[in-house]
Amino acid sequence: MVPVMVYLLRMPMHVVVGTSLFNVLFTCMNVTWMQSSANHTVDFILALLLMIGSVIGAQVGAKLSRRLKADQLKILLASLVLIVMVKMLFSLLVTPNLLLLPMGGE
């Protein structure tokens, strides 16, 4: 959504960041509720730690985004997307080390 809002809708980068975070908030709340009620697979201690980290990270990110220009935010976003893409590509292409696997039921 972020590239669409930036390049197609021509929204300012500072507005895009807030809009994207607002959208992710509701998506995460819905998924957490569904997993909790249907599968009972939500670790509430982990969820609490993630919420605390998210609140702190949002404050740091808001202060950082005020100091950076829109072009710098775009470069930061592009770099993050590129790093994630390289990591995903690496994990798809590199096979695990077969010497570490137990052989013959040993």
Q: How do residues 54-93 score in pLDDT, each as one tens digit?
A: 889 888 887 887 888 878 888 888 898 899 999 999 888 8
Lowest mean pLDDT among 9-13, 43-47, 87-91, 101-105: 101-105
Give the total residue count for the chain: 106
Report d(CA 12, CA 2) in Å as an integer.
11
Render pLDDT for 3-30 as a digit per residue (tens, 0 to 9). 888 888 988 877 887 888 888 888 888 8
Report d(CA 105, CA 98) in Å as an integer.
14
Report d(CA 51, CA 42) in Å as an integer.
13
Q: Where are the domains of the chain?
A: 2-91
- Residue 87: predicted pLDDT: 92
